[in-house]
């Protein structure tokens, strides 16, 4: 087994009196793709945000490679450079061209010279299939193209790990496929990835492991076929049945009495 690229030990996070993460233990190996699924409010985003210290954990430890992020003496900016993050909202700079969106963080944060930053930007735009949009502005791109630019921008920083928080859930359905295809290629290239998603087809086909969270804990984890195809826990089954067939879940929630009345 390769060394864990991410290691989370007994992670807790509270917001005031709201105990959101209640002891998460998770290891992600180098090159592994882990999809995190679970109902709204279960703590998926909070977990991702604790893994790059956008949120400060209340307890427990987080490691990236051999570096402990939760060590008070850590150079957090240095560690963060090793972690790329892609959000539901793409957060591109609207007043900068696509290329400038990719070169600015490289120059500011990594101190790369203009030529190097431009070369790396071009390489990564090609990687997401958007070379022809190098000079375009974000507002002229579709949501799916903007998200692919956001992925290229994260990749241009040379991260060891990529975190994705529902990268396709703000997109029109017909634009989702192109973004997932880019993520699939990234996985095939051996990137270590942690992906919060509701795309069960993607999770089944691309994830090495699926983690189901509810109420701030990991309820179950395993291969996609196991967790999605043959869930052991009632909470997982209930979540998946709602996701795969929302109409069924509504019917399920009506009591037999109500169903009878509706039919009468």
Ligand X SMILES: Nc1ncnc2c1ncn2[C@@H]1O[C@H](COP(=O)(O)OP(=O)(O)OP(=O)(O)O)[C@@H](O)[C@H]1O
Q: Which residues bind Mg ion (CB under 5 A)?
A: 45
**Residue 165, phi then psi, degrees to nearest 5:** -110, 100
Q: Among 41, 190, 229, 260, which residue sits at the site for ligand X (rule: CB under 6 A)?
A: 41
**Edge-to-edge order in the sheet of strand 59-64:** 18-29, 4-15, 59-64, 67-68
| DSSP secondary structure letters along 95-149 | TS-HHHHHHHHHHHHH---HHHHHHHHHHHHHHTT-GGGTT--GGGS-HHHHHHH
Q: Among 44, 80, 127, 133, which residue sits at the site for ligand X (rule: CB under 6 A)?
A: 44
Closest distance of CB 45 from Mg ion, Å? 3
Of 44 and 148, the one with the shorter C-beta distance to ligand X is: 44
Residue 231's binding partner, choosing from ligand X, Mg ion, none, with beta-carbon cut-off 5 to 8 A by kind? none
Which residues does residue 26 pair with via DSSP β-bridges, in sequence order?
A: 8
Q: Among 7, 34, 35, 46, which residue sits at the site for ligand X (rule: CB under 6 A)?
A: 46
Q: Among 43, 138, 167, 224, which residue sits at the site for ligand X (rule: CB under 6 A)?
A: 43
Q: Does 45 bind ligand X (CB under 6 A)?
A: yes
Q: Which range, of 14-22, 62-70, 123-131, 225-233, touches ligand X by CB under 6 A?
A: 14-22
Q: Does 56 bind ligand X (CB under 6 A)?
A: no
Contacts of 184 (CB under 8 A, 6+ apart): 202, 205, 206
Q: Which range, of 39-47, 148-156, 233-241, 254-262, touches ligand X by CB under 6 A?
A: 39-47
Q: What is the three-class DSSP state of 178? A: helix
CB 23 within 8 A of CB 60: yes
Q: Among 1, 17, 40, 66, which residue sits at the site for ligand X (rule: CB under 6 A)?
A: 40
Sign of the dihedral through C-alpha 162, 90, 45, 175: negative
Of 22 and 107, the one with the shorter C-beta distance to ligand X is: 22
Q: How far is CA 62 from CA 26, 47, 66, in A?
A: 9, 10, 10
Angle of CA points 204, 207, 211, to nearest 5°: 90
Q: Which range, of 34-42, 60-68, 156-164, 240-248, touches ligand X by CB under 6 A?
A: 34-42
Closest distance of CB 41 from Mg ion, Å? 8
Rounded-to-integer distance, Cα 148 and Cα 90, Å = 9
Of 45 and 106, the one with the shorter C-beta distance to Mg ion is: 45
Q: Does 2 bind ligand X (CB under 6 A)?
A: no
Interface residues toward ligand X, by CB under 6 A: 15, 18, 20, 38, 40-46
């Amino acid at each position: 087994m390769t060394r864990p690229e991410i290691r989370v030990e007994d992670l807790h996070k509270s917001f005031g009196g709201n105990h959101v993460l209640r002891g998460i233990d998770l290891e992600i190996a180098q090159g592994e793709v882990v999809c995190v699924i679970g109902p709204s409010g279960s703590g998926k985003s909070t977990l991702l945000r604790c893994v790059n210290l956008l949120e400060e954990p209340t307890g427990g430890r987080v490691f990236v490679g051999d570096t402990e992020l939760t060590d008070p003496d850590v150079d957090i900016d240095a560690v963060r450079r090793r972690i790329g993050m892609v959000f539901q909202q793409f957060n591109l700079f609207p007043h900068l061209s696509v290329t400038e969106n990719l070169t600015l963080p490289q120059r500011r944060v990594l101190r790369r010279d203009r030529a190097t930053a431009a070369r790396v930007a071009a390489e990564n735009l090609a990687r997401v299939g958007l070379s022809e949009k190098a000079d375009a502005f974000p507002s002229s791109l579709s949501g799916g193209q903007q998200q692919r630019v956001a992925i290229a921008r994260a990749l241009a920083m040379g991260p060891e790990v990529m975190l994705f928080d529902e990268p396709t859930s703000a997109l029109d359905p017909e634009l989702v496929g192109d973004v997932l295809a880019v993520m699939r290629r990234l996985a095939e290239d051996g990137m270590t990835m942690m992906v919060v998603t509701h795309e069960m087809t993607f999770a089944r086909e691309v994830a090495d492991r699926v983690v189901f969270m509810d109420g701030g804990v990991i309820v179950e984890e395993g291969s996609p076929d196991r967790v999605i195809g043959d869930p052991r826990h009632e909470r997982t089954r209930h979540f998946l049945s709602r996701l795969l067939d929302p109409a069924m879940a509504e019917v399920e929630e009506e009591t037999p009495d109500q169903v009878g009345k509706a039919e009468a």
